[in-house]
Structure 1
Amino acid sequence: MPASSLRPGLVSITFRGLAAEEVLREAVAAGLEGIEWGGDVHAPHGDLAAAERIGHATRDAGLALPTYGSYLRAGAGGPGQPPVAAVIASAAALGAADVRVWAGGTGSAEAEPADRAAVAAGLREACDRAADAGLGVALEYHAGTLTDTADSCLALLDAVDRPNLSTLWQTTNGASDAHSLATLRRLQPRVRHAHVFEWDTGAADQRPLAAGADRWRRFLGELAAPGVERFCLMEFVRGGTLGQFHADAATLKGWLAGTHPPA
């Protein structure tokens, strides 16, 4: 039976209140294998010294850097928007393989053709700059953006038409398990990594990860693919406590140990 192609990791903004060194220490103690460092707190956009320091520390601890979690919204202007160049430079300084980018700030049902064109143009710029730095770009799969449905996400990936562009995946808030599974099946060939959390509509009803065993085993089975390495990145835990984090990490690792790609 082929070995599992899925690896356990953490999105650092799960613990925005902890210093990067503390997040790293807890991830190592939990036996995780990679960290997506957030661009808002732990590795701020454009702070190359911080990115280099965190990147070195992460690699020295034996963990991978699958993604830099930027808050760049392609095609969206306005105050607070990080410059594309600063985001790519931070991802490169960190040593991440990919940089996460958001698909604008308007949901697919409300987006006008001009909105879609602006997001696609912004993503082409991000992809081209990332390619020059040897990086990939992974879209945040999220409500309120052009990746809020599988149809819109696939259309955007095709419109941008860059070989270094992929998408992340996560369950859709308020949607049925069947809907989330169907979405994953459609996107699967173009999914880079997954964000893992256990809730129905948001953090207010978050549960221990073990409570979602049935559905998450189905999701993980769909994510596993021969020759494709993907990280399953824990994002948020019930109550934001370290105790729940370590319990959820043990749960995730147990599931991954029993998940194998199709022969």
Structure 2
Amino acid sequence: MSRSTDVVSVKTGLVSITFRQLGVDAVLDVMRRAELSAVEWGGDVHVPAGDVAAAKRTATASADHGVAVVAYGSYYRAGETAPGDFDDVLRTAVALGAPRIRVWAGAAGSADVTPERRDRVAADLRRITELAAREGVEIAVEHHPNTLTDTLDSALALYAAAGHPGLRPYWQPRLGLGPAEALREVTALLPALVTVHVFTWTADGARRPLAEGAPLWEPVLGALRDRDDAERYALLEFVQDDDPEALVRDAVTLRSWLAGS
């Protein structure tokens, strides 16, 4: 299969939950059309936690399509999910060949948690990061509303409290976030930041063509592109109308930004 080669250190890809309505092979076919080379497989539909056979099949299918598996998108909530459930998540990620596992930092926003609950989240992040590191896997914490990464200050404090070098941030813009604040957050998270989830939404959550987010995304992606200390990923997510054609269009936009054109 022919595929364009990214010429910058930021690789383009897809978060598979963008197309929950499609099976694994159909997702990979859309990625081929969009010329995307990396995927984060979601743990809710495509590769359920504990289904090692599905993980192995998906790993093989991805390799056959020339797509690198760069993450396993779990729904493990540190400090909230039953600790033993992480065993299935880790086994699945290893079978999938994923170098990192995406998790969430608890189940409540930073303004609503007690110090004890925050400590529990940090301790669990430290625990699962250590377990994953034994298998050569990193833990990536998604920056998400209603978790302890809902603000930059809370996220940085959480990472410091967890205190493990295998813990990575996963950044995405919050609804209504302005370009200057977005750039400030991403800059503060570097060099640990490995992946951004890329989409354009209005302040009230309506999905729009990615190109309309140029004032935010061009500086953010430029900050990632201008570093040469690690390979990073810009993964498209939540395209307009869940439409594969929207992904193809947005992928063209994303590559043009990363190329600086």
TM over 0.5, shorter chain: yes
**SS state at 2:68 partner:** coil
Provide, for residues 89-141 of structure 1, a one-character-per-residue CA deviation record: whole Å limited to 9, x for no partner: 11100001100010001111111111111101211121111011110000011
Distance 2:124 2:87 in 1: 12
Q: Which residue of 2 aligns with 1:212?
A: 213
Does residue 104 of the first structure (1) align with residue 142 of the second (2)? no
What CA distance in whole angstroms lies between the structure 2 residues aligned with 1:62 and 1:258? 25
What is the one-letter code of the residue matched to 1:142? Answer: H
Alignment-derived partner of residue 147 in structure 1: 149
**8 Å contact kept, 2:182–2:216:** no
Which residue in 2 is equivalent to 1:234?
A: 236
> Whole-Å Cα distance in 1 between the matches of residues 19 and 194 of structure 2?
23
**Structure 2 equivalent of residue 23 of structure 1:** 27
Kept after mapping to 1: 8 A contact 2:170/2:193: yes
The answer as to 2:130 corresponding to 1:128 is yes
TM-superposed deviation, 1:83: 0.5
Distance (Å, rounded) in 2 between the aligned partners of 1:152 and 1:209: 28
Matches within 5 A, 1:13-162: 13-77=17-81, 83-162=85-164
Contact 1:141 1:148 in 2 (8 A): yes
Structure 2 SS opposite 1:46 = coil
Answer whether contact 1:198 1:206 (CA < 8 A) is retained. Answer: yes
Alpha-carbon deviations, 1:226-256, whole Å to 9, x = none? 1321110001111111111111111112222
Show the counterpart of 1:193.
195
CA contact (8 A) 1:101 1:138 kept: yes
User: Could you list the runs of 4 or more consecutive aligned residues of structure 1 that deviate by over 4 angstroms after TM superposition?
Assistant: none
User: Aligned equivalents of 1:57 and 1:77: distance in 2?
Assistant: 30
Aligned to 1:246: 248
Equivalent position SS for 2:168: strand
Shift of the alpha carbon at 1:142? 0.6
Q: Provide structure 1 residue ranges, at least 5 long, that are not aligned to the other structure.
A: none
State the number of aligned residues.
254
2:14 corresponds in structure 1 to 10
Does residue 255 of structure 1 match 2:257? yes
Shift of 1:50: 0.2
Shift of 1:32: 0.3
Q: Secondary structure at the match of 1:13?
A: helix
Q: Residues of 1 paired with 2:80 and 2:123: CA distance?
A: 11
Query: TM-score under structure 2 normalisation?
Result: 0.93
Unmatched runs of 5 consecutive residues or more in structure 2: 1-6
SS in 2 for 1:232: strand
Paired with 2:147 and 2:22, the residues of 1 have a C-alpha distance of 28
Aligned residue in 1 for 2:3: none
Name the amino acid aligned to 2:192.
R
Paired residues of 2:178 and 2:216 also in contact (CA < 8 A)? no
Percent of residue pairs identical: 45
Q: Is the 8 A contact 1:175 1:200 kept in 2?
A: no
The whole-number CA distance in structure 1 between the counterparts of 2:147 and 2:133 is 23
In structure 2, distance between residues paired with 1:202 and 1:120 = 31
Return the alpha-carbon distance in structure 2 between the equivalents of residues 235 and 116 of structure 1: 29
Contact 2:75 2:104 (8 Å CA) reproduced: yes
Equivalent pair of 1:8/1:231 in contact (CA under 8 Å) = yes
Q: What secondary structure does 2:101 align onto?
A: strand
What letter corresponds to residue 215 of structure 1 in structure 2?
Answer: L
